[in-house]
Each structure stands twice: as C-alpha cells, then as structure tokens.
Structure 1
Amino acid sequence: MVKVDVEYCGRCNFEWHCKMLSAFLQEKQPGTEVTCHVGRQGSFEVKINEDLVHSKIQTLAFPDHQSVLENVQKAEKGLPVDKVKEQPIENCIIM
C-alpha cells in the first residue's frame, strides 16, 4: 500500500486542498492511504512513502494532482518517485 502524507498550513486554510487531493487519489487509485495533518505556516508538503515529492514552502505553489497520482502509481510498482509538477499559488503568501 502506498502512503501519502500531507503537511498543510491550518492558518492559511489549506486543509481543503488536502481533502481535495485525498479525494482525487482515492477515486483514481483506491487503497492509497492519505494522511493530512496541520504543520508549519505556509506549508503544503507531500511525501509518498517518506519521499518528499512536493514542498510549497520551497516552490510557493500547490502540487498538480495528476502528477501526484502518477508518482503514487510509480511507488505502487516499486519505482522511484520524482518531484511533482506545480500549480500556481492562489492565496496565503509567506512574509
């Protein structure tokens, strides 16, 4: 089973982004275990089986859901994962 761990900023109200990603992955790749938890300010960090594949803190963008799915599918096959593609940020800028 592939595990996806998402750390998100609660202050920035990024929980819904995590819920959307989780629903997308559950629909497209049933059985994927997705955990969402509150973390650092401005964060939306995505790990697949402990490998960091996306960092909003570094990129200032959210991950592309399709790109996360492709990496989940790679991990399920035992292949190495890559950094995911990004979507532009819509709100909450770190100052």
Structure 2
Amino acid sequence: MDFRDEHVQVLLSVGDVIRNISVFRPREVKLSGIQLLDVEIGVVETQLREAGFNVEACDAGLWLPSEKVVLVVVDGRIDGVQIETI
C-alpha cells in the first residue's frame, strides 16, 4: 500500500501481514522525543547514542537493531524511516 500524498508506504507480506512501514520527509517521526526525519545524520546518531540506543551503520544509513528501525540517509540527512514489524 502506498500513501504518496501522506509520505507513507506500507509493505505487506504473504497473507496481507504488514512487513514494514516507511515514512518520508516532510512528515515527522520521533523516537523518545528525538526528531528523526530531515535532520543531519551526525546529529541524529549522537542524540540516539546519548539516549542509550544501539546505533549501527548500514548501507541505507543507520540501523537500530533493538527497535528494528532503519534510518535512510540522502545527502547527509535522514530522508526516511523504515520500521520493520516482522
């Protein structure tokens, strides 16, 4: 399912179970009060680490394994947040 006007994409697996949800700029996505979208990668990474989150680099940008969240980086800024549900 694709909600382009809302800047949201939902990926379904077999059986129509939600596999992941992606949210893109200009929407707002916060994790423990930390704004994730449209912020420089270094700023977000520092804030997340200081808040106690495990943050790892990945091909797309940053991976938060405990939260199953990928922060997608474009031109040094967080452009999208992908939340894995399964």
Provide the TM-score with structure 1 as the length reference.
0.28
Bigger relative contact order (CA 8 A; separation at least 6): 1
Provide the TM-score with structure 2 as the length reference.
0.30
From the two aligned structures, give the one with the greater strand fraction. Answer: 2
